[in-house]
Chain A
């Protein structure tokens, strides 16, 4: 096929979009609604993923030192912990500091315990990789002057399963949406093609090959997909940017969790939406023109 014929097909596809008025509108709307939902779901899912990762990376082992341990023993213990296999970081927090923390979260009444502090001197230990957390905890439990070891995994395990379930639900929803969109657009294009069935028949009788007829339709599907992606891309970008500015400072201050920063993330999600729009449009028109070409 010659290059100028491609130009002709592109031109033809644009004209067809113009001529098909409300059908174009219907197809574009179908894509828009779908991509909007997909965009929202993907944004939520990606951030849930980030949350899971953040939490997983933040699982700590809490090591309570024996109450009888003196300064020297505590120093030795800290030394031993930090040289334990798989340990990345050790932070010491005296029982006084622990009480202050507790009071901060639970309320000032806890200050009353200051005279008779029931808390332990504590080491917060972080494993080099989340996977090693359990092993690290077990190793530390064997050291001298250790009263008890608590590994944070159990606490987040529940959260993980919730996240997993919601991730899977999101995935199923997105696939369902995509399927619906393809169905919708191929149906919409099919209606316009039924109207153009006679045109196709005539074109074939005048000597057009199948590809000569098909390519303008494929371009048309592509434009529909791209047009359908414009609104979702804009809305998702604006909404995400604003939500990010609204919440991220607060979230980040926990030191554990932060939202995905808009810059690479919005680019990725927008590229995804655009690509999906194009795939939906092209696939839809390809499928619907197929059965009318057997003249």
Chain B
């Protein structure tokens, strides 16, 4: 599903955030990306949906080489990937329902399907009753769940989440992990950058540790491996 080969990323300010990454992630896998702050986790993730473009190397997702696709094709790529952003990235002028529906509007789904699917995922994240509220009227955890709902509403085969439990209390974090676990069990690939030791060590999955822009460790049922 995802293949990276010798991927380098040098930001305009000269910082090298990816320094020769080669990795292969299969359909249906659940992968934690761990590593110290500034190690390059977010960069690694951002290159997968083309928020950042690699300086060199190949990234192949669903047969598309992200290093080579035209700007015009980028929206098509992003529609195949659900992204949960660390800062939620909800549209402030749209209510919860509209935020989630937006991901379906861009693919020109019919209003009937949109209604049904949006209500389904809002139910899944337990926020059906807040559909008419605006993001600013929600708590951080609720916004995070909306962001997750939006990322899965068009049923992508790949969901990428950058610290989805970053600012949440343990209970909410576990609620969110349950949702990921649930959609992973339906065959969706999950890639999740996290600093949450407890989750990584309890809910065992593949662990990729990034340090200094390189993959330091890649274990099938790994541990978090860092002391906090």
- Interfacial residues, chain A to chain B (CB-CB below 8 A): 1-2, 4-5, 8, 19, 199, 202-209, 212
Contacts and interface: CB of A to CB of B under 8 A. Distances in A.
Interface of B: 49, 51, 72, 75-76, 78-79, 83, 85, 89-93, 102-103, 105-108, 110-111, 150
Contacts of A212: 75, 106
Given A5-B105, A205-B51, A19 B111 contact: no
A2 B105 CA distance: 11
B55 to A, nearest CB: 18
A206 B98 CA distance: 13
11 contacts: A1-B108, A2-B108, A199-B93, A202-B89, A202-B90, A203-B106, A205-B78, A205-B89, A207-B76, A207-B103, A209-B106
Given A19-B93, A199-B91, A202-B89, A207 B107 contact: yes
A1 B102 CA distance: 16
B111 A207 contact: no
Question: Lowest 5 CB-CB distances: which A-B pairs, in order?
Answer: A207-B79, A207-B78, A208-B106, A209-B75, A202-B89
B89 A4 contact: no
A4 B102 contact: no
Judged by DSSP, the binding face of A is helix
A208 B108 contact: no
B91 A4 contact: no
Nearest to B103: A206
B126 to A, nearest CB: 22
A207 B105 CA distance: 10
Contacts of B102: 203, 206, 208
Contacts of A203: 91, 102, 106
Contact of B78 (A5, A8, A199, A206): A206
A8 B108 CA distance: 10
A206 B150 contact: yes
Contacts of B103: 206-207
Given A1-B108, A19-B93, 5 more contacts: A4-B111, A203-B102, A203-B106, A207-B107, A209-B75
A5 B104 CA distance: 11
Nearest to B101: A8
